[in-house]
């Protein structure tokens, strides 16, 4: 799995710099919801890791 790159204070985004929303307002490339994309910079590291746990294996 290509997991998140972590530093002491932040978790990297799974963004692939190719945004394309599907029918469910979910990016077809990074699998985050529109809400997760919009809130990413305000999310805690714990919230970001929860997103990674959900999308991580699917975006290899």
User: Has residue 4 been placed in a domain?
Assistant: no
Number of domains the chain contains: 1
Q: How far is residue 33 from each of residues 4, 7, 8, 9, measured CA to CA in Å?
A: 17, 24, 26, 23
48 exposure class (CB count in 10 Å sphere: 0-12, 13-18, 19+): buried
42 exposure class (CB count in 10 Å sphere: 0-12, 13-18, 19+): exposed
User: Has residue 31 been placed in a domain?
Assistant: yes
User: Has residue 6 been placed in a domain?
Assistant: no
- pLDDT tens readout for residues 1-58: 456 555 445 899 999 999 899 989 999 999 999 999 999 999 999 999 999 999 987 7
Domain membership of residue 28 as a residue range = 17-60
User: Has residue 7 been placed in a domain?
Assistant: no
User: Has residue 47 been placed in a domain?
Assistant: yes
């Amino acid at each position: 799995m290509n997991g998140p790159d972590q530093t002491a204070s932040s978790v990297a985004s799974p963004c692939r710099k190719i945004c394309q929303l599907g029918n469910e307002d979910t990016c077809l490339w990074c699998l985050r919801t529109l809400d997760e994309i919009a809130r990413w910079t305000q999310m805690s590291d714990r919230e970001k890791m929860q997103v990674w746990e959900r999308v991580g294996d699917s975006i290899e």
